[in-house]
Chains A and B, each alone.
Chain A
């Protein structure tokens, strides 16, 4: 029983990381039709920014942790908005070329990060509480899981509130459904593009800082390895659906944890298998709109 609780909560923690990456991917894809390969780099940069801050301020304090999370969000948002503004926008509506540009950006930035910070993992320090455990129904759960889950829930609520209560949110929801009709109502939908990139980048940047605590290190490859699972999550959840991304994040991560534990480390393969099954049964994903 305690093992199951542990796996479940750890899965939720990992799922929280997936969600922080996948939410932005899914929104960006839903509104703009762009598959953003550079999203992993937003995450990695957020993680490095957080680490640079914490090594200057002393990583053991809560203040530093919170500051580094905020910094990760700001850096992620800024870089993402700049990416949209400088690169993606020039290729308006040319989706394949937009994907290609993000591929180039991903390759170039990972190489740049390696040049700056080296290829080896850099271990991070955190408030001691995070590496302690809390007992829940007999399971000793590492505390950092709760940080991941709490942050992801806050981000989810924040994005939902933004989408529901702001004019940009209204435009984004409408645009995901039918972008050309939004322009036919006299709205310059491109302004919303920069906004979704910024939101996605902020979530990814925050995800980067959290991931560095979940895995215990930062490396230039951090974003890329999470990105692939985030892609799978967005396809399973349904491209463009935030709720789908949230559900699929949890399903994928929990499945991964259980398979790794009970079926001899087959977690990653099970996830791909799940993807195959979803494609066979429901090619649009759990909550995806019909193609």
Chain B
């Protein structure tokens, strides 16, 4: 068995004294997309933020065999973690280009990949990110993660609030990215999950309630309904 790139064991996290992640354990697939699913408010975003060290957490987080759960966020990122947060979090007062420049860690950033995936962004390099549409902002946010050679990507609801056409653009970009780097994807759009994910982990009330094949989960209508509230 190949060693997992990201392993989480007994992870707990608190926000304002409330436990939002409870004893969560899982492993990511070493390649391709692992989906992290669950209804609204079950703690998916909090799990990612806990892994990133953005909220108070305890438990074990291992990246490529090394414990990172006591490291500050920037160190974790420097180990090769790309993070695409929920709601994009682009820097509105910075230009597209500045957003990308800020994200570049490698001496030879993958500008070419960005140009291929998001030609629109290059055309808008000088525009303030705050004036972009939601879809364009999402592309900036993805591009910030893809511009470096990462060992793993954590992507939180990249298609949230986007028009159907753009959803497919984003999904394709992710598919392309997943060919070279494993992705942990939080996603509500099950069509996108079907298209990309092999493995699925489902949370409920801050705990893992399903860990297995994505195809099996989504193939079972009753189970999907029970765990995700939708078919």
Chain A positions within 8 Å of B, measured between CB atoms, are 170-171, 173-174, 177-178, 180-189
Contact = CB atoms under 8 A, between A and B. Distances in A.
Interface string B30-63: 0000000000000000000000101000000000
B77 A181 contact: no
Given A171-B102, A182-B102, A184-B54, A177 B92 contact: yes
A170 B94 contact: yes
Contacts of B144: 185
B74 A181 contact: no
A170 B101 contact: yes
A171 B74 CA distance: 13
Contacts of A183: 54, 72-74, 77
A186 B54 contact: no
Contacts of A186: 74, 77-78, 103, 105, 148
Contacts of A173: 91, 93-94, 98
A35 B86 CA distance: 30
**Top 10 A-B pairs ranked by shortest CB distance?**
A186-B77, A183-B73, A181-B89, A183-B74, A174-B91, A185-B103, A188-B74, A186-B78, A184-B83, A186-B105
Q: Please classify the interface of chain A as helix (H, G, I), strand (E, B), loop, or mixed, using the class held by over half of its residues.
A: helix
Interface string B64-102: 000000001110011000010100010111100010011
Nearest to B77: A186
Contacts of B91: 173-174, 177-178, 181
A160 B77 CA distance: 29
Given A184-B52, A185-B77, 9 more contacts: A170-B98, A170-B102, A173-B94, A173-B98, A177-B91, A177-B93, A183-B74, A185-B103, A188-B74
Nearest to B145: A185
Contacts of A189: 74
A82 B144 CA distance: 34
Which of B74, B94, B101, B105 has the most chain A CB within a 10 Å cutoff?
B74
B187 to A, nearest CB: 19
